[in-house]
Chains A and B, each alone.
Chain A
Amino acid sequence: MAVLVFAEHDNRSLKKATLSTIAAAQKLGGEIHLLVAGHGCAEAAKAAAQVAGVAKVLHADAPQLDDEIAENVAALIVSIAPGYTHLLAPATSNGKNVMPRAAALLDSQQISEIIAVEAPDTFVRPIYAGNALATVKSADAIKVITVRATGFDAVAATGGAAPVESLAAPADAGLSRFVGREVAKSERPELTSARVVVSGGRGMGSGENFRLLEPLADKLNAAMGASRAAVDAGFVPNDWQVGQTGKIVAPELYVAIGISGAIQHLAGMKDSRVIVAINKDEEAPIFQVADYGIVGDLFKVVPELVEELKK
């Protein structure tokens, strides 16, 4: 039997979360097949074939698979599911949208955002904003799983030579129509895979003030993130939100600036290797998880930090 991994890609290359998901799949035993679905994604399928440890790439290319339309993508996954013991996807917004739909159609209780594989039917996942870890055992014939990328070290993107097989897509369900996309363009590294993340919170005071963090992020080659409060206030776009209900990050270095450290924020970043906090309130809970803290006014400390980094 085999394991199917649903690839997250941008038509040309695989997202890093896919490589972490393959690492999780390797702990299950069995051949690993990678499903690359989309429209005009032949390049991504080629990239998929090179990933170490992949036995076969299934390439489904059709207009109705474009733009992550859940009804059509879930139908595709369900159409090939009977050949597999496990269906895995990264816990990205796309994976979270599609996989539960496929799971329900297969009468399977999905296991969300696993961080460890104990056995082929037993997994560890955080609950209550990461305040507890549950070890759960599934009795379902086909196990449907989303994988938290920070829980698994990515496999190598090259070294493999898997065959690519074309797959026909089910017809358009005709339920949803794509209207448009607002992509926040950025030259910076992608938030969930960056080596360094610089995040700002309500303490930044305005969207304009977030500019202050740019030279710091430049110096550290960092992605930029934010707390919910900063996003809700409209300082920065929604896709910057780190936390329980935003993105989960675990960079080498996380710098929290003007962020108090609410449990919902910590849920998204407390597995970072080194955490730095800058906050004027010495009692702020963020200091309880920070390796290094500076108590002070961010408008003074951040420019100083940039100066020091130039030295």
Chain B
Amino acid sequence: MKVLVPVKRVVDYNVKVRVKADGTGVETANVKMSMNPFDEIALEEAIRLREAGVATEVVAVSCGVPACQETLRTALAIGADRAILVASDAELQPLAVAKLLKAVCAKENPQLVILGKQAIDDDANQTGQMLAALLGWAQATFASKVQVAEGRAQVTREVDGGLDTISVKLPAVITTDLRLNEPRYVTLPNIMKAKKKPLETLQPDALGVDVAPRLKTLKVTEPPKRQAGVKVPDARTLVEKLRNEAKVI
């Protein structure tokens, strides 16, 4: 069974993101970029399935600018067998990414696609669900536990009220939540090995996908700033302030 893992190159989660002065977006020049954290979890899960003998091959895919190759090399160093870059300089919105991934699925025939639940830059939380829709496959989102057996995946999902468990027919799309696993670190020997692993490049045109953005960003602004308040010496003062100043209790 082949597992496909889409990985997105995003601004690292430790970076304090700044809005550009001209209001067209956020500063990404000279900013540390990393693999979306949820995608590291997705990749870890796929590799564990291979190590358990459930999966035979793990293929990482990234859609975007040439620099996404770095993200794919990281994926190969973590343990993916091969990688595919869908090269595009356009702004790729979730629906376009889902269409590109559908075309990649048509070529690769995976039984499972594991994505992150959310990219930490656009915070969209859409691509996996959209891909499942376009493929007509089952979806199991926000996974915190995955077991694959007999043509099905049993997935425990983190939902607002607690945990739901569903059983989906393969092929299927799974999206990861934070508690699914703890991703391994990349080791130096594996970084060296990754350099020799295959990385193929595809073009959206050749895949027959129109990636033109549907949403136009009119402006990007800073959110209103919160003023830091006061430090109070003790619980008594705090309660007094909450009662008489903030009038919230």
Contacts and interface: CB of A to CB of B under 8 A. Distances in A.
Interface in A251-305: 252-253, 263-264, 270, 273-276, 282, 287-295, 301, 304-305
A137 B217 CA distance: 6
Interface of B: 11, 13, 16-19, 26, 38, 93-95, 98, 117-118, 120-134, 137-142, 144, 154, 157-169, 172, 177-179, 213-223, 226, 228-236, 238-239, 241-242, 246, 248-249
B22 to A, nearest CB: 13
Contacts of A181: 161-165
A39 interface: no
B139 to A, nearest CB: 5
B102 to A, nearest CB: 9
Interface of A: 67-71, 74, 92-94, 96-105, 107-113, 122, 126-140, 173-184, 192, 196, 220, 228, 231-232, 237-239, 244-245, 247, 252-253, 263-264, 270, 273-276, 282, 287-295, 301, 304-305, 307-309, 311
A128 B159 contact: no
6 contacts: A109-B94, A132-B220, A135-B218, A179-B167, A183-B162, A293-B229
B94 A110 contact: yes
A68 B162 CA distance: 14
A104 B130 contact: yes
A103 B168 CA distance: 21
Contacts of B167: 176-177, 179
Given A129-B120, A136-B217, A293-B232, A93 B142 contact: yes
Given A100-B130, A127-B121, A276-B242, A294 B232 contact: yes
Contacts of B120: 128-129, 244-245
B209 to A, nearest CB: 12
B214 A108 contact: yes
Contacts of A304: 234-236
Contacts of B221: 132-133, 135
Nearest to B240: A308
Given A110-B124, A135-B221, A273-B248, A97 B169 contact: no
Contacts of B130: 100-101, 103-104, 110
